[in-house]
Amino acid sequence: MSVASHDTADTLIDHVRALAELCRSEVPERADEYTSILQRLGEPLRVAIAGKVKAGKSTLLNALLGSELAASDAGECTRIVTWYQHGDELAVTGETSAGTVPVSFSVTDGRLDIDLGGRDWNDFTRLVVEAPLEGLRRTTLIDTPGMASLSTDIAAKSTDFLTPADGQNTVVDAVIYLLRHLHATDVSFLHAFHDREFASPSPVNCLGVLSRADEVAVGRLDAMTSARRIADRYSTDPRLRRLVQGVVPVAGLIGQASTTLSDGAAADIEAISKLDHARSQLALLSIDRFLSDTTIGIDIERRQALLGQLGLFGLRVVEAGYRSGELTSGADVRALLREESGIRHLDETLQVVFGGRRDTLKARSALVAIERLMQEVEHPREASAMLERIWASAHDFTELRTLSVLRDGNLGLATDQLFEAERALGGQGTSPAARAGLDHAATSSEVRDELLQIMSKWRTIGNNPIADRSISALSEAVIRSCEGAFAQLD
Ligand SMILES: Nc1nc2c(ncn2[C@@H]2O[C@H](COP(=O)(O)OP(=O)(O)O)[C@@H](O)[C@H]2O)c(=O)[nH]1
Ligand SMILES: [Mg+2]
């Protein structure tokens, strides 16, 4: 079997499947494990949402799904790892040491409430929520409890889950890691799962999110701009570059409100915008102020609900939008909130960094699992040779490996060369235009010209007789990626 140079990820999956099938028949004592590896190749990509307690994981998950499935804050269920996957109708099951059990639930005002029926949360290894949501067809999202610190109980549960002990199969293909500010524990947690076998640790399958971004500038109207600046700084921080693909600012709460805020709630804020400007500014000065202001004609429960749904930043953005005349309806408000929250940008980034490599990431998880089984039990030589061949000859993996190397250190390259190489290798998206560093509106001939220029530049870099081996390997990979993109254009 040979893996041709520009195989699509589709055929890569086929090669991995052929290998797993061979192993299943040749190593019958591990047939069950191979069956589950094969099954998983056909399933959606698994993406976990990780980060410390209260980082905003559950809220972000709801914002991504456009539905309030995950409970936020305390509550027993938030302590259990929960999988959200596609199903024809809403259903909840729990996994316990004694097997799978149905779990009862109710839906109130679009919010899912799970009832453990008196059982201890500790009895469950995970909950599975099935929902008929389009977004879940291609991706399974996994909410993790998070860790207050790396030593607490729940922390141990999350870390176990994300960094399975040796001998266990990798659980997820990719991770969205939420960090609020650069806390020592954030970085040490990231290191912890990069140190061990976790979906084969690599920055290429881990995206950072600067979460609760609206709180960055204490709710000021320019909060998201400040958050973007901070996220950009994190993205280029050498410590974080080594661990995540990039950092995107997101206000999950605002994103969640963009699907759940009612017309009535929007109308309440519209009423505030009709007040004298000085009056409304005073009411929205601080959370305390807003809650104690009895003169704006909105009762305290509604004020509390507004704050809970939007935070101070969201309230101010919507009030300013009504005041300027930009907003005239509840639908306008929800559209503005979606844009402001950064959720659309996160969606696009996920599509670029995970979506474009969905099959490669799945193939990779499967190969890591097969490799582990091969270390445990004797396999036919043919199987290990096949594994070697797939690892070595699929350029997709070379790209992932090379991107990791580049993110780990700059190999002494100038910054513009470093970024050019990363782009060509698909670090900013795997389309030919993204690889050429051009806008998606660029014409094929513009993309072709740019790719030719990049190739010629990297040929010169690679041919330099005093170039270090890692630089020659890099230039080879860059040229190969450009050739692949070139072929795709034809
Ligand atoms: N202002 C603001 N609050 C948020 C945001 N995301 C979550 N929160 C609040 O932070 C608290 C914890 O959120 P949750 O999603 O439960 O965090 P988790 O523990 O990481 O799952 C809740 O009170 C949320 O309402 C956000 O983007 N902005
Ligand atoms: Mg949570």
The pLDDT of residue 147 is 60
Q: Above 80 in pLDDT, residue 123?
A: yes
Choose between 41 and 150: higher pLDDT: 41
146 lines ligand 1 (CB under 6 A): yes
The pLDDT of residue 169 is 46
Query: What confidence tier does 348 reach under pLDDT thresholds 50, 70, 90?
Result: confident
Query: What confidence tier does 4 reach under pLDDT thresholds 50, 70, 90?
Result: very low
Share of the chain above pLDDT 90, in %: 57
Contact at 8 Å (CB) between 110 and 71? Answer: no
Contact at 8 Å (CB) between 145 and 80? Answer: yes
Q: In 3D, which of 86, 88, 167 has the Cα closest to residue 128?
A: 86
Q: In 3D, which of 108, 126, 65 has the Cα closest to residue 116?
A: 126
Residue 352 contacts by C-beta under 8 Å, 6 or more apart in sequence?
Answer: 428, 429, 430, 434
The pLDDT of residue 153 is 43
Q: In the structure encoding, which two tokens stand for residue 11, read together?
A: 């055929």
Give the SS3 label for residue 199. coil
Angstrom distance (rounded) from CA 75 to CA 59: 14
Cα–ligand 1 centroid distance for 56 (angstroms): 4
The residue whose two tokens read 């999988």 is 83
Question: In testing the pocket of ligand 1, which one of 253, 304, 343 has its CB within 8 Å of the most ligand atoms?
Answer: 253
145 lines ligand 1 (CB under 6 A): no
Query: What confidence tier does 257 reach under pLDDT thresholds 50, 70, 90?
Result: very high
Q: Above 90 in pLDDT, residue 83?
A: yes
Q: Whose CA is nearest to atom 8 of ligand 1?
A: 56
Q: Above 50 in pLDDT, residue 151?
A: no
Q: Which H or E run contains 96?
A: strand 91-96
The pLDDT of residue 74 is 72
241 lines ligand 1 (CB under 6 A): no
Angstrom distance (rounded) from CA 61 to CA 55: 12
Q: Above 70 in pLDDT, residue 195?
A: no
Least confident piece of the model among 262-276, 405-419, 459-473: 405-419
Angstrom distance (rounded) from CA 400 to CA 246: 15
Question: In testing the pocket of ligand 1, which one of 72, 78, 141 has its CB within 8 Å of the most ligand atoms?
Answer: 72
The pLDDT of residue 94 is 94
Angstrom distance (rounded) from CA 424 to CA 480: 9
Q: Above 70 in pLDDT, residue 230?
A: yes
Least confident piece of the model among 162-171, 176-185, 327-336, 365-374: 162-171
Angle at 342 between CA 113 and CA 199, to 5 degrees: 70
Contact at 8 Å (CB) between 71 and 78? Answer: yes
85 lines ligand 1 (CB under 6 A): no
426 lines ligand 1 (CB under 6 A): no
253 lines ligand 1 (CB under 6 A): yes
The pLDDT of residue 156 is 46
Within 10 angstroms of residue 25's Cβ, the number of other Cβ atoms is 10
Q: In the structure encoding, which two tokens stand for residue 93, read together?
A: 């099951």
Q: Above 70 in pLDDT, residue 82?
A: yes
pLDDT, mean of residues 188-214: 69
Nearest ligand, CA 256: 1
Q: Above 70 in pLDDT, residue 270?
A: yes
pLDDT, mean of residues 354-381: 89
Mind listing the pLDDT tens digit for each residue in 375-419? Answer: 999 999 999 999 999 988 888 888 888 887 887 777 888 889 999
251 lines ligand 1 (CB under 6 A): yes
Q: Whose CA is nearest to atom 23 of ligand 1?
A: 73
Contact at 8 Å (CB) between 159 and 189? Answer: yes
pLDDT, mean of residues 81-99: 94
Query: What confidence tier does 220 reach under pLDDT thresholds 50, 70, 90?
Result: confident
Angstrom distance (rounded) from CA 353 to CA 429: 6
The pLDDT of residue 183 is 59
pLDDT, mean of residues 140-152: 69
Share of the chain above pLDDT 70, in %: 89
The pLDDT of residue 182 is 57
The pLDDT of residue 87 is 97
Q: Above 60 in pLDDT, residue 364?
A: yes
pLDDT, mean of residues 125-130: 93
Query: What confidence tier does 190 reach under pLDDT thresholds 50, 70, 90?
Result: low
Residue 245 contacts by C-beta under 8 Å, 6 or more apart in sequence?
Answer: 203, 204, 205, 206, 207, 208, 353, 407, 427
212 lines ligand 1 (CB under 6 A): yes
Least confident piece of the model among 139-153, 257-271, 434-448: 139-153
Give the SS3 label for residue 118. coil
What is the DSSP code (8-state) at residue 129? E
Cα–ligand 1 centroid distance for 314 (angstroms): 14
The single-letter code of the amino acid at 307 is L
Residue 225 contacts by C-beta under 8 Å, 6 or more apart in sequence?
Answer: none
The pLDDT of residue 186 is 65
Contact at 8 Å (CB) between 178 and 57? Answer: yes
The pLDDT of residue 346 is 92
The pLDDT of residue 164 is 42
Q: In 3D, which of 14, 9, 22, 17 has the Cα closest to residue 37?
A: 17
pLDDT, mean of residues 207-215: 92
Summary count for the chain: helices (H), strands (E): 21, 11
The single-letter code of the amino acid at 70 is A
What is the DSSP code (8-state) at residue 164? P
The residue whose two tokens read 């080594």 is 242
Choose between 336 and 413: higher pLDDT: 336
The pLDDT of residue 218 is 80
Q: Above 70 in pLDDT, residue 161?
A: no
Q: Above 70 in pLDDT, residue 16?
A: yes
Nearest ligand, CA 260: 1
Within 10 angstroms of residue 29's Cβ, the number of other Cβ atoms is 8
Q: Above 50 in pLDDT, residue 128?
A: yes
53 lines ligand 1 (CB under 6 A): yes
The pLDDT of residue 148 is 52
Q: Looking at the CA of residue 73, tell me the nearest atom of ligand 1.
A: 16
Choose between 339 and 152: higher pLDDT: 339
The pLDDT of residue 199 is 44
The pLDDT of residue 163 is 44
What is the b/e burial string over 238-265, where b = at least 16 CB atoms within 10 angstroms of the residue's CB?
eebbbbbbbbbbbbbbbbbbbbbbeeeb
Angstrom distance (rounded) from CA 124 to CA 104: 14
pLDDT, mean of residues 337-355: 89
Contact at 8 Å (CB) between 255 and 63? Answer: yes
Give the SS3 label for residue 320. helix
Contact at 8 Å (CB) between 227 and 247? Answer: no
Contact at 8 Å (CB) between 374 and 387? Answer: yes
Angstrom distance (rounded) from CA 82 to CA 128: 6
338 lines ligand 1 (CB under 6 A): no
Say what the alpha-carbon torsion angle 56, 59, 65, 66 is, to the nearest 10 degrees: -140
